Amino acid sequence: MKYNKKDLKGKRFGKLIVFEETSKRQDGGCIVWKCKCDCGNVVEVSSKRLCNKLQESCGCYQTERQKYSMKKLKEKQSVENTNIHLIEKNKANSNSKTGVRGVCYINSKKKYKAFLSLNKKYYVLGFFDNLNDAIKARKEAEEKYFKPILDKYNKKMKTAQNRPSKINSKPFLF
């Protein structure tokens, strides 16, 4: 089957510049082109993917977007190296036998253990004969350790909301 080819040599598609036709064909004779990305990588992309804007980089653009999104997420959700989302979460994990976050039953001791994780450290708050005492210890620890961080985060968010927006700032385009 003869394919009516459109010469894409020298054309730009996003971050890709087409520089050479390959002998490869895809999807019923669609030409595969060698393209150089702005980052320096060379990739092979079909004319169909280029013309339909299905691929506009070697993959580096996706990586940049992910890094930017993760950076913004961390800025929004981190105070003192603590993920706010995790300490705000008050729901126990689905496999919890007690139904209370930070409280579990230790069969070997026949006691309830209250615990807490903060700044990548694990703290055992104590072992208790009954569930209510373990829950109380956990709640007191949350008040002591989590509340100051949450207050700081809420204050930071309130300050950010009251700040005037920059009119001429360039947004990151996706």
Taking only the tens place, the pLDDT of each residue in 20-53 is 999 999 877 889 999 999 999 999 999 989 999 8
Count of structural domains, the chain = 2
Domain span at residue 45 reads 12-55
On whether residue 70 sits in a domain, the answer given is no
Residue with the bigger pLDDT between 75 and 9: it is 9
pTM: 0.47
Mean pLDDT, rounded, for 134-161: 83
What does each C-alpha distance from 49 to 13, 37, 52, 99 come to in angstroms?
Answer: 10, 15, 5, 50
Confidence of residue 140 (pLDDT cuts 50, 70, 90): very high
On whether residue 173 sits in a domain, the answer given is no
CA 105 – CA 118 distance, rounded (Å): 21
One domain for residues 97 and 132: yes
Q: Is the torsion defined by CA of 72, 75, 76, 82 positive or negative?
A: positive
On whether residue 16 sits in a domain, the answer given is yes
One domain for residues 81 and 128: yes
Mean pLDDT, rounded, for 152-167: 65
